[in-house]
């Protein structure tokens, strides 16, 4: 009986988690889930139209039904967490799922319905599930490059944002000094100019707060030019990171051309449940390409291997 229950649980896991295009039931589940997500988000927007008030009861019914399906799906994922993290005990696997990215996102899309009505925007996080189900996610090269660049260039990006923050405060203080005597209602204190500095540095201004003195206008011109340069710093860092990532990827493809071998991950493989970071560091391998459900893609380091995956690997030269 226990073996039968475990087989059922494994089948449920395959349907709701693996997203295998060769499994008709799994694919049908993915499509139905996408339809439910779209219906939930559509109702959320339609409820804001006063002209549709006669249909509010219908919208509420659809909302309750879709959130109930989300809750069932979430509970099923908790129930089958041991197959997602096979190297952990059942309790540890459940805990790991609860604070994982997917677990937190799914919980945040359910809780607002019951406790946080003002946080309804959290339901938009369900859109992330659509990207995941159709593999338009960080496992693919384009999204993987974005996340990799942000991760590798985070120190430079934070430094550039700090420069923008300092410039914003300095411009606010300067503008207060020259504009307060002429516009005490607009620039009441040193922080009153923060809104103006943000709109001037990051946009072209909104016209609700602006300098009227000659010195203030001259300073506004200088600050605007400085803002263009400051905003260009993180943009240049990220652009350079993209070039580095693609250059590195092309080099990896060239090096692996003669030594690439495809490995099929079986049921008893020790790789199941591990990330590529873990596999590459432990085995001395480089995973260049992955294939799941007939779809091939360049995986990111946080890609977690599942049964049936095919990995294109080559051994690093020591």
Q: What pLDDT band is residue 67 in, cutting at 50, 70 and 90?
A: confident
Is the pLDDT assigned to residue 185 strictly greater than 50? yes
Domain with CATH 1.20.120 in the chain: 2-134
How confident is the model over 116-153, as pLDDT tens digits? 655 566 666 666 666 655 544 444 455 666 777 788 88
> Best-predicted range by mean pLDDT among 178-192, 237-251, 285-299?
178-192
Rounded CA-CA distance 10/22 in Å is 17
Output the CATH code of domain 2-134: 1.20.120
Apex 41 CA angle, 38 and 46, nearest 5: 115
Domain with CATH 3.30.70.1450 in the chain: 259-315
**Of 148 and 90, the one with more pLDDT:** 90
Non-local CB neighbours of 36 within 8 Å, separated by 6+ positions: 66, 69, 70
- Across 111-120, 128-137, 193-202, least confident range: 128-137
Using DSSP bridges, classify how beta strands 295-297 and 285-292 pair: parallel, antiparallel or unpaired: antiparallel
Domain with CATH 1.10.287.70 in the chain: 155-242
> Best-predicted range by mean pLDDT among 169-183, 192-206, 269-283?
169-183
Q: What pLDDT band is residue 267 in, cutting at 50, 70 and 90?
A: low
- Across 109-113, 115-119, 192-196, 227-231, least confident range: 115-119
Indicate the length of the chain as a whole number: 318
> Is pTM, for the whole model, over 0.85?
no
Torsion sign over Cα 35, 41, 44, 47: negative
Asked if residues 214 and 179 have their Cβ atoms less than 8 Å apart, the reply is no
Question: Long-range contacts of range 239-248, CB-CB < 8 Å, 24 or more positions apart?
Answer: 241/148, 241/149, 241/150, 241/152, 241/153, 242/145, 242/149, 244/149, 245/145, 245/148, 245/149, 246/145
Rounded CA-CA distance 48/275 in Å is 42
Reading the block at residue 315, the tokens are 């051994």
Decide if domain 155-242 falls under CATH 1.10.287.70.
yes
- Across 55-64, 205-214, 254-263, least confident range: 254-263
Non-local CB neighbours of 252 within 8 Å, separated by 6+ positions: 286, 288
Is the pLDDT assigned to residue 24 strictly greater than 80? no
Rounded CA-CA distance 148/300 in Å is 8
What's the topology of domain 259-315? Alpha-Beta Plaits (3.30.70)
Q: By three-state DSSP, how is residue 251 classified?
A: helix
Is the pLDDT assigned to residue 257 strictly greater than 80? no
Q: By three-state DSSP, how is residue 256 classified?
A: helix
Of 287, 282, 281, 313, which is closest to residue 299 (Cα–Cα)?
A: 287
CA atoms within 13 A on the CB side of 179: 26
């Amino acid at each position: 009986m226990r073996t039968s229950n475990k087989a059922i649980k494994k089948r449920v896991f395959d349907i709701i988690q693996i997203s295998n295009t060769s499994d008709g039931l799994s694919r049908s589940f993915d499509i139905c889930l996408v339809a439910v997500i779209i219906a939930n988000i559509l109702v959320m927007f339609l409820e804001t139209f006063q002209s549709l008030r006669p249909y509010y009861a219908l919208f509420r019914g659809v909302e309750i039904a879709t959130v109930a399906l989300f809750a069932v799906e979430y509970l099923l994922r908790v129930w089958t967490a041991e197959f997602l993290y096979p190297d952990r005990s059942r309790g540890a696997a459940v805990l790991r799922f609860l604070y994982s990215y997917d677990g937190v996102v799914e919980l945040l899309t359910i809780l607002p319905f019951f406790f946080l009505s003002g946080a309804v925007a959290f339901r938009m996080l369900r859109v992330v599930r659509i990207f995941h189900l159709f593999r338009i996610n960080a496992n693919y090269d384009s999204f993987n490059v974005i996340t990799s660049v942000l991760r590798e260039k985070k120190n430079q990006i934070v430094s550039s944002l700090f420069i923008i923050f300092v410039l914003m405060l300095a411009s606010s203080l300067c503008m207060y000094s020259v504009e307060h005597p002429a516009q005490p209602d607009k620039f009441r204190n040193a922080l009153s100019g923060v809104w103006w500095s943000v709109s001037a540095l990051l946009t072209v201004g909104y016209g609700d707060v602006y300098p009227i003195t000659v010195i203030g206008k001259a300073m506004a011109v200088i600050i605007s030019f400085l803002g263009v340069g400051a905003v260009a710093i993180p943009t240049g860092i990220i652009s350079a990171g993209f070039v580095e990532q693609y250059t590195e990827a092309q080099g990896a493809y060239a090096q692996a051309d003669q030594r690439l071998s495809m490995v099929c991950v079986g049921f008893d493989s020790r790789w199941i449940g591990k990330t590529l970071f873990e596999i590459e560091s432990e085995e001395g391998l480089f995973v260049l390409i992955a294939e799941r459900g007939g779809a091939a893609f360049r995986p990111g380091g946080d890609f977690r291997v599942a049964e049936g995956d095919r990995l294109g690997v080559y051994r690093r030269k020591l």
